[in-house]
């Protein structure tokens, strides 16, 4: 049997974009990157584990904030180069800005407008 990790088309850096989607509402919460180890750990632990490109290390979502993503399902796209994680977002906050989603700005008349409120001050999350 082929290892599921070998069926992925990893980019030149050995990474794969991962879209985190709320399993109940369908809202896109965030996009991050995974390497082989992050995806393997995500699948085995049932918790989102990403690869931090800026810190060059594994990052368990919520390790500092407590806003863990419990993974309900992992889906691979038709080209094998993007995954979607259906997650339960603990605490209701996925974004480091203290919002539900990282996608909180909407383009209207050529300008970005913030449309989602800060649910918790980031200073209180990352103290």
What does the pLDDT look like over 40-89, one tens digit per residue?
999 999 999 999 999 999 999 999 999 999 999 999 999 999 999 999 99
Quickly state the pLDDT bin for 2 (edges 50, 70, 90): low
- pTM (predicted TM-score): 0.93
Work out the burial of residue 18: count CB atoms within 10 Å of its CB; fewer than 13 is exposed, 13-18 middle, 19 or more buried. buried
39: Cα within 13 Å, side-chain hemisphere: 27
Total domains, the chain: 1
With CA atoms as reference, report the closest residue to 83 among 46, 35, 24, 44: 35
């Amino acid at each position: 049997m082929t290892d599921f990790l070998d069926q992925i088309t990893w980019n030149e850096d050995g990474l794969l974009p991962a879209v985190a989607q709320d399993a109940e509402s369908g809202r896109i919460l965030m996009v991050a990157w995974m390497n082989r180890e992050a995806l393997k750990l995500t699948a085995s632990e049932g918790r989102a584990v990403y690869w931090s490109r800026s810190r060059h290390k594994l990052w368990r979502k919520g390790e500092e904030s407590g806003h863990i993503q419990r993974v309900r399902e992992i889906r691979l796209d038709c080209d094998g180069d993007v995954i979607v994680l259906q997650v339960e977002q603990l605490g209701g906050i996925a974004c480091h800005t203290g919002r539900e989603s990282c996608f909180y700005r909407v383009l209207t008349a050529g300008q970005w407008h913030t449309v989602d409120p800060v649910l918790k001050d980031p200073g209180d999350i990352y103290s």
